[in-house]
C-alpha cells in the first residue's frame, strides 16, 4: 500500500505540475524549493511547504525530485547531505533530465543505504504533466508495485525500462527527436512568413499535410502568434541538448543535426530568449545569419 503523502523537492514549472497532478489524484504533498516564488505558487496549489529538503526527506518515504540537472541532484544528495536523512525503504523517484551515468551512480550509492533511487523522466511540458498527458520513462527492471500508483498518478502513460539510467537515456532520445521537430517547424514557419504567407493559413496546411506532428499542434499557434509565456524554457532545452551531445559522444556517435540545433538555441539565448517558452526558437530562425 502506497502512503497517501508524497514529498516533492523542486517546485519549478514541472515540479508544481507534478504536485498539482498528485493532489488531484488524492495524494497529499509536502514540498520544498530554494526559490521563494516557487514555493509560494506551490502553496497556492495545496502543497505543504517544508523549511528545507531534509525535512521532506525525513518526513516522506516516497520522494519525487524535479531539479534543473543531475549535477544539482548529486549536490543535494551527497554534498548537502539529503541522503543521510533518508530512512531505509525510502523510494526516490528522480524526474530530472540528466546524465544516465549519474542516475546509475545515485542508484548504486543509495542502495547501500537500503534506499531505492529510480530515474523516472517525463516527456511533456508542465501543461502536459498537469493535464495527465505526460509519458513516464522509468529506469527500473524490477517489480515496482510499491511506487507504481504514484508514477501513474503523475503520468498514466508509463514505460518501465531495463535498468537504472535507462529512463534518462530514453528521455534524451525523445528530446532529441522532439527538439529537432520543433526546430524544423520553427524554421519552416519562419520561411513561409518571410516569403509573405499568412501564418494561420500556413499552419492549417501543415497540420493537414504529411508535415503534421504533435509539435505543430502544441507549439504552432504559439510560434505564429508570438506567445512565448513559458511552459518549457529555451535555456532548459539547451541544457538537454548539451546532455544529448555528451551521451551521443559517449556512444561514439556524431549528431550533425543536433549540433546545428545547439547553435540555434545558443543564438536564441544570446537574443535574450532563454527564459521564454521554447516556441521562441522561431525568433532565432527569423534572425538568421
Q: Residue 92 in contact with residue 63, Cβ under 8 Å?
A: yes
Mean pLDDT, the chain cut into blocks of 10 residues (289 residues total): 79 97 96 93 97 94 96 98 96 97 98 97 95 96 85 96 95 98 98 97 98 96 97 95 97 97 97 98 87
* Bridge-based pairing state of the strands 116-123 and 135-138: antiparallel
Residues carrying CATH 1.10.1040.10, the chain? 169-287
Range list of β-strands (E), the chain? 5-9, 28-32, 48-49, 62-65, 91-94, 116-123, 135-138, 157-160
At 37-69, the pLDDT tens digits run 998 999 999 999 999 999 999 988 999 999 999
Distances (CA, A) of 44 to 4, 51, 188, 230: 20, 16, 40, 19
CATH superfamily of 5-164: NAD(P)-binding Rossmann-like Domain (3.40.50.720)
Q: Which CATH fold would you assign to the domain 169-287?
A: 1.10.1040
Beta bridge partners of 32: 9
Q: Residue 239 in contact with residue 68, Cβ under 8 Å?
A: yes
Q: Residue 25 in contact with residue 2, Cβ under 8 Å?
A: no
Q: d(Cα 235, Cα 268) in Å, to the nearest integer?
A: 9
Residues carrying CATH 3.40.50.720, the chain? 5-164
pTM for this prediction:
0.93
Amino acid at each position: 500500500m502506497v502512503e497517501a503523502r508524497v514529498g516533492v523537492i523542486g517546485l519549478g514549472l514541472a515540479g508544481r505540475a507534478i504536485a498539482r497532478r498528485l493532489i488531484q489524484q488524492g495524494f497529499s504533498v509536502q514540498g520544498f524549493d530554494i526559490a521563494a516564488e516557487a514555493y509560494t505558487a506551490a502553496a497556492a496549489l495545496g502543497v505543504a511547504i517544508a523549511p528545507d529538503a531534509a525535512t521532506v526527506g525525513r518526513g516522506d518515504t516516497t520522494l519525487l525530485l524535479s531539479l534543473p540537472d543531475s549535477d544539482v541532484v548529486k549536490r543535494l544528495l551527497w554534498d548537502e547531505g539529503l541522503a543521510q536523512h533518508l530512512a531505509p525503504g525510502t523510494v526516490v523517484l528522480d524526474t530530472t533530465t540528466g546524465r544516465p551515468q549519474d542516475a546509475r551512480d545515485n542508484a548504486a550509492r543509495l542502495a547501500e543505504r537500503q534506499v531505492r533511487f529510480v530515474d523516472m523522466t517525463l516527456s511533456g511540458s508542465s501543461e502536459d504533466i498537469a493535464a495527465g498527458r505526460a509519458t513516464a520513462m522509468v529506469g527500473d527492471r524490477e517489480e515496482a508495485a510499491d511506487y507504481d500508483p504514484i508514477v501513474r498518478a503523475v503520468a498514466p502513460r508509463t514505460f518501465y525500462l531495463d535498468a537504472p539510467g535507462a529512463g534518462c537515456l530514453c528521455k534524451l532520445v525523445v528530446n532529441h527527436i522532439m527538439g529537432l521537430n520543433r526546430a524544423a517547424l520553427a524554421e519552416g514557419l519562419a520561411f513561409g512568413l518571410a516569403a509573405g504567407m499568412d501564418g494561420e493559413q500556413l499552419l492549417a496546411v501543415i497540420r493537414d499535410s504529411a508535415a503534421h506532428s504533435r509539435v505543430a499542434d502544441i507549439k504552432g499557434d504559439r510560434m505564429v502568434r508570438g506567445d512565448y509565456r513559458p511552459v518549457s524554457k529555451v535555456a532548459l532545452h539547451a541544457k538537454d541538448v548539451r546532455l544529448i551531445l555528451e551521451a551521443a559522444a559517449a556512444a561514439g556517435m556524431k549528431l550533425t543535426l543536433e549540433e546545428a540545433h545547439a547553435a540555434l538555441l545558443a543564438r536564441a539565448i544570446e537574443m535574450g530568449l532563454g527564459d521564454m517558452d521554447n516556441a521562441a526558437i522561431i525568433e532565432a530562425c527569423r534572425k538568421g545569419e
